[in-house]
Amino acid sequence: MKVFIITGAKGKGKSKSLLNVANFLRKNNIKFSGFLSEPVYRDDKLIGYDIVNLENRRKLELMRKDPEFSSDQCGDFRYRKSSFDFATLEIFESIKRKIDIILLDEIGILETSNIGWHKCLCLLITSNIKFLFLVVRKNLLNEIIIKYNLNDSFIFDVDNDEYSESLINEFIFH
C-alpha cells in the first residue's frame, strides 16, 4: 500500500487539498471512498465539525462545542464515537466492494489516544487497499507516523507552493 499524507498547520488547506484529490479521482472515474472533515459555523463562529462521506456526500455530526452533544470530550469539543464507528463500517464495506483508494480527514489527537479514526486506520493498514490518503496536522505528524508505522509515506506539506501538483504526480506515476 502507498500512503500519502497531507500535512500542515491548522487552517492551512489540508482538507481542501484532500477534496481536490477526491475531485481529481471523481473527474477521472476512479473509484474511491473516504471521509472529509467539514467545519460547522453558527453566526460566524466555529461550533464543530461534521464528517462527509466522499462517495455519497452524506454528513454525520462529529464534534460540537455544545456540552449536551456527547459525554466524550477532546479539548473544547464533544465528539460522537458512534459517528466514527459508523464511518468505519462504511469504509469496511468499501473495502469489501474492492475499492482500493481511501481518503481520511483528519488524523489527530484522538488517534494518538486510540480513539477517533484509530480502529479504521488499523483496519486500513492491514487491508489490501492500494492507496491511502491521510490528513495529519503537522504538530502530530511524527507521532502518527511512528504509531501507525507509516515510515514509507509520501509527505505533502501544504506550505509548499507546488505540493498540489506533486501530490497528483506522485499518485499518477507511482
- pLDDT-based confidence at residue 24 (cuts at 50, 70, 90): confident
Helix/strand/coil percentages in the chain, nearest 5: 35, 30, 30
When divided into structural domains, the chain yields a total of 1
Q: What is the pLDDT of residue 119?
A: 94
Looking at the chain, the whole-number percentage of residues with pLDDT higher than 90 is 76
Instruction: State the burial class of residue 71 (Cβ atoms within 10 Å of its Cβ: 0-12, 13-18, 19+).
Output: exposed
| 9 CB-near residues (< 8 Å, 6+ apart) | 137, 138, 139, 159
- pLDDT-based confidence at residue 167 (cuts at 50, 70, 90): low
pLDDT tens digits along 96-130 = 999 999 999 999 999 999 999 999 999 999 999 99
Q: Please report, for the domain that includes residue 138, its CATH number.
A: 3.40.50.300
- Mean pLDDT, the chain, integer: 91
d(CA 42, CA 58): 20
Domain span at 96: 2-173
- pLDDT-based confidence at residue 171 (cuts at 50, 70, 90): low
pLDDT tens digits along 43-92 = 999 999 999 999 999 999 999 999 899 889 998 999 999 999 999 999 99
